[in-house]
Amino acid sequence: MKCLLNDLENNGVSISQAEVIVMFVNSLPRKWLSMNQTQRANNSVKNDTFAALYGKYNDQEGLIDQIYESETSRFTIHASSSKALILTHIFKTVTQMLKKIPGVAVNSC
């Protein structure tokens, strides 16, 4: 994510911390819905830094995985590592956004 944000900055596109946080929260898989609602209700999405908010999500990852796996086990859906899913989804979303901006070169890191 840091690499993508650096690419944006190097191409003259600035994204505020608030926009990064909203993009992060909105791009998370469905299993994080409850956590997203809690963080919004506590104003963490507005008041925390990206690092602090990510830390909160990271701290809850094991619990979220357990809840999600128990809910989805009846459908035989097996989730991979949520960190990998989150980062891959964010990377793809930001890369797609960058490709839509004329003249922006996207580097792979």
> 0.75 exceeded by the pTM?
no
Q: Is 22 helix (H, G, I), strand (E, B) or coil?
A: helix
Q: What is the mean pLDDT of the chain?
A: 77
10-residue mean pLDDT profile of the chain (109 residues): values are: 77 82 83 83 84 84 78 55 71 79 70
Note the pLDDT tens digit of each residue in 4-33. 777 878 888 888 888 888 888 888 888 788
CA dihedral sign of residues 102, 87, 45, 70: positive
From residue 35, alpha-carbon distances to 12, 32, 57 in Å are 33, 5, 8
The one-character DSSP state at 29 is -
